[in-house]
Every structure is written in structure tokens, then in C-alpha cells.
Amino acid sequence: MTDIDAPSAPRISAQRADAQRNKQTLLDVAAALFVTSGVEVSVREIAAQAGVGIGTVYRHFPTRADLIIAVYRHQVETCAEAGPVLLARYASPYAALAEWIQLFVDFLATKHGLADVMQPGDPSFDALHRHLLDRLAPVCTAFLDAAVEAGEIRPGIQAYELMRGVGNLCIGAGTDPHYDARRLVDLLIAGLRRVNPHAQVDTGDEPRGEEVCNRPFQSRGNRHPLISRKRG
């Protein structure tokens, strides 16, 4: 996952011409196939479309995930760089955050299956997962810190968690007309909001109904033994 783009210690020449050509072809073909068939296209199909052998793919991209990362590297970078710009443009850090999150959602939701594969667990895609979060979570943290300081949102939510939540909400977007990821992300971001900026924080016990909107967020663990481990 490290330095896929950079030439590795040019001993004689930078890189053989055919290697450069093949790598570029692979990136182009993969980008095109990701659009038409989703990021789940098999390595074999990418290789075939590019007119190279499977071994060539793995020579340039040690893992399928590395190829995906390389294809979307620029877009992730663009999204990350938009962070400070938006933060400076808006008087309200919350508004800037909402705008930036939409940027991220638009990126994820328009790539078939990208969000599906961005989840951790599958060790093969951990690299992809880490790359996106390592690059974007710090940007998000800036938004959150500013918004908390301005009293616009409740404290206690971490950027990593929020980004993963947004990413998860994007799963399946574009394949199901009855599922609108953007709408749900809006819901999530709205839930972040501290309704009355200078209200007293509610630190009482189990929150109910009316007060649910204004307390800070903390983990609470399982509270419902109603459904326990038991087979049907």
C-alpha cells in the first residue's frame, strides 16, 4: 500500500516503457469498468480488457484493493483538500461540515459498490478502508472541533466514527431506488446538531423522548436482554 505511484529506486532507468504503458492502461480500464460494472469486477476481467496477463496486474498492484485505491486516489485527495476551503467559506462550521459530508457522499454513492467494499473486516480491503479514513478523518476532525467550539453540535462524536457511519449509509446506494443514502446522511448530520446552542447539557439517566436531542453522545453498551443469544 505504500507508494504505488512513486517509482521504486530508479537503478538503471525510471521504469521500463512497457511497464509504464501497462500500468496506465490498467488504471484507465479499471476506472472504466468500475463505472460500468462496479468495483466488484474480477481481476481477470480487468486484465483481459487491458490485454495483459493476470500476473501483470499483480505486478503493478499487489492487491485488488491497491488498484481501487490508485484509481480513486485523486478524488479522495480532492475531497480532502476541499475541507479547509469550505471551513473558511462558511461562517457556520456546521454548515461547512454538512457541505463537505455531501461532497464525500457524492463521491461514494456514485461509485458502484465502493462503499460496500470500504468496510473493514475483509483483511484484503483493510488497506482501502484505512487509506480513505486516514486521509479524510483528520479533515473531518477540523470540522467537528470548530463546530463544537461554536456550540453548534454536541461534543463526543469522533471523526473516524462519523466517517464510517456516513460510509456505511452509502452502502447499496445507487442499486436500490427505494434507498436514498443522501437523505439518511442528512438525518445523521441533523442528529449531530445541538438544538439550542447554549442550553444546559442533560446529564440525567436514561433519556426519553423530548430530551433525546440535546445530550452528548457516549457509548452505552447492551441494554436489551429481550433478544438474547438463542436460536430459532
Q: Which of 28, 53, 81, 92 binds DNA (CB under 7 A)?
A: 53
Considering CB distances under 5 to 8 angstroms, the limit depending on partner class, which of DNA, a second copy, none binds residue 43?
A: DNA
Q: Which of 29, 60, 86, 173 binds DNA (CB under 7 A)?
A: 60
Let me know: does 117 contact 168? Beta carbons within 8 Å: no
> What cell does 168 get?
456505511
Cβ-based nearer residue to a second copy, 142 or 216: 216
Let me know: does 116 contact 166? Beta carbons within 8 Å: no
Query: How far apart, in whole angstroms, are the C-alpha atoms of residue 80 and residue 85?
Result: 10
Binding-residue pattern over the window 70 to 109 for DNA, x denoting contact by CB under 7 A = ----------------------------------------
Considering CB distances under 5 to 8 angstroms, the limit depending on partner class, which of a second copy, DNA, none binds residue 143?
A: none
Cβ-based nearer residue to DNA, 45 or 211: 45
Q: Which of 42, 92, 110, 158 binds DNA (CB under 7 A)?
A: 42
Coil, strand or helix: which one is 193?
strand
Q: How far is CA 219 from CA 13, 31, 58, 158, 223, in A?
A: 55, 40, 42, 12, 11
Cβ-based nearer residue to DNA, 10 or 225: 10
SS in 3 state form for 46-110?
HHHHHCCCHHHHHHHCCCHHHHHHHHHHHHHHHHHHHHHHHHHHCCCHHHHHHHHHHHHHHHHHC
Q: Which of 15, 24, 110, 175 binds DNA (CB under 7 A)?
A: 15
Let me know: does 116 contact 171? Beta carbons within 8 Å: yes
Cβ-based nearer residue to a second copy, 45 or 77: 77
Q: Name the residues that contact DNA, by CB under 7 A.
A: 11-13, 15-19, 21-22, 40-45, 51-56, 58-60, 62-65, 124
